[in-house]
């Protein structure tokens, strides 16, 4: 029984951390698009060469190239028993390609970490970093206004200004809606309440993928 999992979630949902934990629990690799692109470049595969050229020109990696890089990654032996995909698919075209890649490898389970927008705005808007050492501020430190590690001054993260945050959430909603439709039509989609403490969100994720596997 393969555990082929796709994790979807808005900025601020903690998706990366949850993907890492879930993959460790299930003993399958976490496959994030950022890592996969970096690996392809580092390994110097023919595809990696294409990725490197695109990045050197400062362009975005196309749908087709991203699909091929992920396909190559999923063919590696460590992904045979399953995977937790993070950041792919991002478009319906990528989702259709993924359907083809997992054909014959067991079902795909797509889990969306759902967090209400006001909560996301609060989380992203509240995110502060230390001006001196760059550490993310824990809530207690943020309340005190000083870095818990070095006592440096805390400042708002540059990309977390309210307008930028709203735009990131809009882009997410616009890109994700068609994906959700793609999967909902075939009952592959589970939703986990992300408006909770990280440990509770993780427990919800584990439940969702375990139930899907029955």
The set of catalytic residues is: 15, 90, 127, 157, 168
∠ CA(178), CA(1), CA(194), 5° rounding?
A: 45
Could you tell me the smallest distance in angstroms from the CB atom of residue 165 to Zn ion?
23
Q: Decide: residue 79, CB within 10 A, 0-12 exposed, 13-18 middle, 19+ buried.
A: middle
Which residues ranging from 147 to 176 are in contact with Zn ion (CB under 5 A)? 147, 149-150, 152
**Given candidates 19, 85, 115, 130, which one binds Zn ion under the rule CB under 5 A?**
130
Q: Which of 177, 176, 211 is nearest to 192 (CA)?
A: 211
CA distance 29 to 15: 15
From 87-95, 103-111, 125-133, 137-145, give the range in contact with Zn ion by CB under 5 A. Answer: 125-133
In this structure, are residues 121 and 165 in contact, taking their beta carbons and an 8 Å threshold? yes
CA distance 112 to 101: 21
Binding mask 56-75 for Zn ion (x = CB under 5 A): --------------------
DSSP letter string over 5-49? Answer: EEEE--TTS-HHHHHHHHHHHHTS-EEEHHHHHHHHHHHT-HHHH
Count the residues of the shown chain that bind Zn ion, applying the rule CB under 5 A: 8
Phi, psi of 56 (to 5 degrees): -65, -30
Could you tell me the smallest distance in angstroms from the CB atom of residue 142 to Zn ion?
12
Cβ closer to Zn ion: 11 or 152?
Answer: 152
From 57-65, 79-87, 106-114, 123-131, give the range in contact with Zn ion by CB under 5 A. Answer: 123-131
Could you tell me the smallest distance in angstroms from the CB atom of residue 140 to Zn ion?
14
**Cross-strand partners of 31:** 85
**Given candidates 24, 80, 133, 173, which one binds Zn ion under the rule CB under 5 A?**
133
Could you tell me the smallest distance in angstroms from the CB atom of residue 50 to Zn ion?
40
Per rule CB under 5 A, is residue 121 in the interface with Zn ion? no
Q: State the residues that interact with Zn ion by CB under 5 A.
A: 130, 132-133, 135, 147, 149-150, 152
């Amino acid at each position: 029984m393969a555990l082929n999992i796709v994790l979807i979630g808005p900025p601020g949902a903690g998706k990366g951390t949850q993907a890492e934990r879930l993959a460790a629990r299930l003993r399958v690799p976490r496959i994030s698009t950022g890592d996969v692109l970096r690996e392809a470049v580092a390994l110097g595969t023919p595809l990696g060469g294409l990725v490197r050229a695109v990045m050197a020109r400062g362009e975005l990696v196309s749908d087709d190239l991203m699909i091929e890089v992920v396909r190559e990654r999923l063919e590696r032996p460590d992904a045979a028993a399953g995977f937790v995909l993070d950041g792919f698919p991002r478009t319906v075209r990528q989702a259709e390609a993924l359907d083809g890649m997992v054909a014959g490898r067991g079902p795909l389970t797509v889990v969306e970490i759902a967090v209400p927008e006001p909560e996301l705005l609060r989380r992203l808007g509240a995110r502060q970093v230390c001006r001196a050492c760059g550490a993310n501020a824990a809530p207690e430190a943020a309340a005190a206004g000083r870095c818990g590690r070095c006592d440096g001054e805390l400042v708002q993260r540059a990309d977390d200004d309210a307008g930028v945050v709203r735009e990131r959430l809009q882009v997410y909603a616009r890109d994700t809606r068609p994906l959700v439709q793609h999967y909902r039509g075939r009952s592959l989609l589970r939703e986990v309440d992300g408006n909770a403490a990280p440990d509770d969100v993780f427990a919800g994720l584990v439940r969702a993928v375990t139930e899907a596997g029955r």
